[in-house]
Amino acid sequence: MAKNLLAAGHSLTVFDLVEAACAAVAAEGASIAASAAEAAQGADVIISMLPAGKHVAGTFLGEDGLLAKVSSDTLILDASTIDAATARRVGEAAAELGIDFMDTPVSGGVAAAAAGTLAFMCGGSTESFARAKPILEGMGGAEKIFHAGPAGAGQVAKAANNMLAGSPYDRHFGGTGHGSRPRAGSGGTIRDHEGEFRQ
């Protein structure tokens, strides 16, 4: 995902607890930060992907969370697959500070991640989605970027997608978007909480 953003012309500063993951992206032109806070400093766009809701809450909420450190014009896209309640809580906290936040869980598998054709199910305001679409198109198929509703709705749509996957009623979410240039992003591994992408 990060490599596709770089290939699309975006400038990235990355952080991951797994040093090898950072090194692989740095080899493609990204800068490496020593912490999530350092990666987020001065960024126009922050992209995170973390294992579980407790990690997302810990990263963004509280006195030491990123919401307390970033400017109000920052766009935050959390691509983690987590519980909708935590996504809503973080989204509401961001909104109180005037920060655009969207939960943007992904679907498509490792092959789609490499090919830049992931699906994104997005929860947040209409205005946040308009800002997010050009960024997400660097990692996903334009026809697969879907605004599901307010904060937390992306997680609900992802859960529904997981339930439908492999069933006779399997669906793919779609939408449209246009290209743009983010300044920087930060995030974790490109896995969901079970360690791999799921359809």
User: Per the structure, how many domains does the chain have?
Assistant: 1
Main-chain phi, psi angles of 78, to 5 degrees? -100, 110
Name residue, tokens 């809450």.
57
User: 126 by DSSP, 3-state: which?
Assistant: helix
Q: Judge whether 15 lies within some domain.
A: yes
Enclosing domain of residue 73: 2-164
Please report the pLDDT score of residue 162 as a whole number. 83
What are 24-32's contacts with CB under 8 Å, separation 24+?
28/2, 28/3, 30/2, 30/6
- Does the active-site annotation cover 133? no
Tens digit of pLDDT at every position of the chain (199 positions)? 999 999 999 999 999 999 999 999 999 999 999 999 999 999 999 999 999 999 999 999 999 999 999 999 999 999 999 999 999 999 999 999 999 999 999 999 899 999 999 999 999 999 999 999 999 999 999 999 999 999 999 999 999 988 886 554 444 433 333 333 343 444 443 333 333 333 3
Residue 96 belongs to domain with CATH number: 3.40.50.720
In a domain, 149, yes or no: yes
